Structure 1
């Protein structure tokens, strides 16, 4: 039996970039060349403006995946493998401290679960590389082999909390107090709340303050 489980965010926690936008750029340039680069810049600017205006991350996540409406799932999955092969060959793709930490947990016999607002085509090869047991991600709706542009549930914020708690409920042999979770952003706090051993990657001040509060509380699990 596993002594504990390890949950890890992906973007800027396990890898150094934002996989959704980096993949979008890769895909558009792959299909349209210079025109794809321009289209990506327009999309990126639009999302940045929306975020600055206070649009919730969950809505931004849904809006992002509408860009894939009508695309064949198999083709996007193939592009995801090509994206990973190219990007992972570059130095600095992975956050090495997180990779090493996850490897240590696996060596101790403890499963790793990735938790991300990104989607399967880009997460699958990353999960293989770090030998994750499972991936909790944003699930896109597929009909007749094509993405509809809708999602079942953005794996953002409170959805991360609910997903992690479902996994823990399925593992009565594991105590939440013994589990680890890795994140880089305040939006990961709902996931970190689920475990007794939260870990910050990077130096986001709000996340640092949260972890200091947990430390002062003896890392006790916050109320449900």
Structure 2
């Protein structure tokens, strides 16, 4: 009898980005960067705020509202601005979550496909993905008109359940066992993503995620800030 070796498909390692891989909220940090360089544009739009007026607004709706601020911006302009912002951001001595950056490198070295899953936008995530070795980005995708200009709308906010659904879809597409895949997240909105894999890791001190970690025996890693490279001066 002839035995045919079955090629093992690499596991996927999913990483939330804001306050998980990087120490900041990229959308807010970039908006501050954008306002400094486009003051007239920014003055016509409300400043960023997570605070609701009379009633709480869900994070997906906040995500949509934020991206409407960029209506009328050429995508190429936003991409260039994203690269410029990240080039400066990455140099910070406390810009990244060091234990998670180490985990990204370890998964990459072990042959896992590293995937960024974020409510942030691709113009900010593409340079980060290149820096850390992520091959796939699942994010809030901006709607771009035929003229290459942003409409201000998005296809779907990559928030909450959307992260889990995107991760499950990618695992099925890659033909990998979810039980062998990893996910890292810091916020309660990452809970569905963490539950979608067999090896979730809680980052930071979210009470809800710590409760889930204690209940299910998930590991917890500190959100200790540091530079991108551990050997940076």
- TM-score under structure 2 length normalisation: 0.85
Which residue, out of 20, 29, 43, partners 2:27?
20
Counterpart-to-counterpart distance in 1, 2:138 and 2:50: 25
Structure 2 gap segments, 5+ residues each: 1-7, 219-233
1:1-224 equivalence runs, <5 A: 1-32=8-39, 42-44=46-48, 47-50=49-52, 53-143=55-145, 144-172=147-175, 174-215=176-217
Question: Residues 47-91 of structure 1: CA distance to partner in whole angstroms, max 9, x if unpaired?
Answer: 332288310101000000000000010001000000001111111
Structure with max Cα Rg? 2
Indicate conservation of the 8 Å contact 2:179/2:198, yes or no.
yes
The structure richer in strand per residue is 2
Question: Residues 138-180 of structure 1: CA distance to partner in whole angstroms, max 9, x if unpaired?
Answer: 00100011000000000000111110010011122x2111111
- What is the number of residues matched between the two proteins? 210
Structure 1 gap segments, 5+ residues each: 217-224
Counterpart-to-counterpart distance in 1, 2:138 and 2:162: 10
Indicate conservation of the 8 Å contact 1:6/1:113, yes or no.
yes
Q: 1:3 Cα shift?
A: 3.8
> What SS does structure 2 have at the residue aligned with 1:135?
strand
The structure richer in helix per residue is 1
Say if 1:26 and 1:125 are closer, same or farther in 2 by CA, change over 3 A: same
Structure 1 runs of 4+ off > 3 angstroms? none
Say if 1:113 and 1:52 are closer, same or farther in 2 by CA, change over 3 A: farther
Say if 1:71 and 1:208 are closer, same or farther in 2 by CA, change over 3 A: same
